[in-house]
A and B are shown apart, each in its own frame.
Chain A
Amino acid sequence: MRYVISLSLLLVVLWLAISGVYKPVLFVLGGASVILVVWLSVRMDVVGVEHNPVLFSWRLVAYWWWLFGQLVKSNLHVTRLVFQTSKVQPRLLTVPVPHEAAVAKVTYGNSVTLTPGTVTLKLTDDMLEVHALDEASARDLEGGDMARKISWLERREDNA
């Protein structure tokens, strides 16, 4: 029930932000669409399944900020490679996934894909198969900085 209420509130805020036209008729339509979406989600049994306290932690903002720095760094690296294609040395590697929660695993996989230079090929319970553009990108990932950051993000759950 808690998740149903939080989902409805989130949808109401989203609707208010997107609509921008505040007339009674539209409020009724917006309310109806929120109820429809919540009903569909309950029917699909997805309410609360992927919900995680991680999502509402200040640590998420800190992580995004760190990820943004990584993004800029790896973008500049790949940009250099675009003009020196001879230096492209693709390789496959697997890195361990130390996280418990499904959300943390998916965050790891998506973050790896999001930073240019590494693309997740396969995500299993404890392993991540990655295609890396060159040695430097591969070594960055093998260093495990990102995995540690996500562990730090995940730790919030224990005392939530």
Chain B
Amino acid sequence: MALFVDLLSWALLLSGGAFGIIGAIGMLRFPDFYTRLHASGITDTLCAVLIIFGLMLQSGPSLLTVKLLLILLFLLFTTPTATHALARAAVLDNVDPVLADNGKPGAEGRSSTGEPSSKS
């Protein structure tokens, strides 16, 4: 039983680390600021959740587990707020997103916001 818990926690920890690296690679590969926000979302959500769950299995029922849970809750409540604040600030600063139908930054402008752009 203890072995099973250990194996599970190893799997969680290692896959969490893998998702972190994948998210960081995405941050390097994606074409513009807004798409990079999605990549940072991977590292902020699944990576953090998997690593902290893995650590919680290691520590068993103790005060440490409660603190890990608190860290996870803080992270899950604050990161979307920070991401949204970033995206909002960029929009207000007229950083134009690269959109699918013309592939050039700014060509669409902010006027196309209302309707989903029709794809050719």
Is any CB of A less than 8 Å from a CB of B in the complex?
Answer: yes
- Tell me which of A18, A71, A110, A131 contacts B34 (CB under 8 A): A131
| Main SS class of interface, B | helix
Q: Are A92 and B66 in contact (CB under 8 A)?
A: no
A88 at the binding interface (Cβ < 8 Å): yes
Q: Are B42 and A92 in contact (CB under 8 A)?
A: no
Could you tell me the distance between the alpha carbons of A92 and B25 in the complex, rounded to whole angstroms? Answer: 24
Taking the closest CB of chain B, its distance from the CB of A16, in whole angstroms, is: 10
Taking the closest CB of chain A, its distance from the CB of B56, in whole angstroms, is: 14
Q: Are B91 and A121 in contact (CB under 8 A)?
A: yes
The chain B residue with its CB closest to the CB of A68 is: B49
8 Å CB interface, B87-118 against A? 87-88, 91, 97-100, 112-114, 116-117
The chain A residue with its CB closest to the CB of B45 is: A71
Taking the closest CB of chain B, its distance from the CB of A12, in whole angstroms, is: 14
Could you tell me the distance between the alpha carbons of A115 and B79 in the complex, rounded to whole angstroms? Answer: 11
B41 at the binding interface (Cβ < 8 Å): yes
Q: Are B45 and A110 in contact (CB under 8 A)?
A: no
Could you tell me the distance between the alpha carbons of A68 and B88 in the complex, rounded to whole angstroms? Answer: 25
- Tell me which of B45, B66, B114 contacts A75 (CB under 8 A): B45
Query: How many residues of A are counted as interface, with CB atoms below 8 angstroms from the partner's CB atoms?
Result: 40
User: Chain A residues near B88 (CB, 8 Å)?
Assistant: 121-122
Q: Are B41 and A78 in contact (CB under 8 A)?
A: yes
Q: Are A92 and B35 in contact (CB under 8 A)?
A: no
Could you tell me the distance between the alpha carbons of A53 and B112 in the complex, rounded to whole angstroms? Answer: 39
User: Chain B residues near A20 (CB, 8 Å)?
Assistant: 63
The chain A residue with its CB closest to the CB of B64 is: A20
Q: Are A71 and B46 in contact (CB under 8 A)?
A: yes
Q: Are B80 and A82 in contact (CB under 8 A)?
A: no
Q: Are A131 and B97 in contact (CB under 8 A)?
A: yes
Known: A20-B63, A82-B22, A85-B31. A120 touches B38 (CB 8 A): no
From B66, B76, B100, name the one whose CB has the most chain A CB atoms within 10 angstroms.
Answer: B100
User: Chain B residues near A147 (CB, 8 Å)?
Assistant: none
| Contacts A/B (CB < 8 Å), 12 sampled | A17-B67, A75-B45, A81-B26, A90-B32, A90-B98, A110-B84, A114-B80, A119-B34, A119-B38, A120-B80, A121-B91, A133-B35
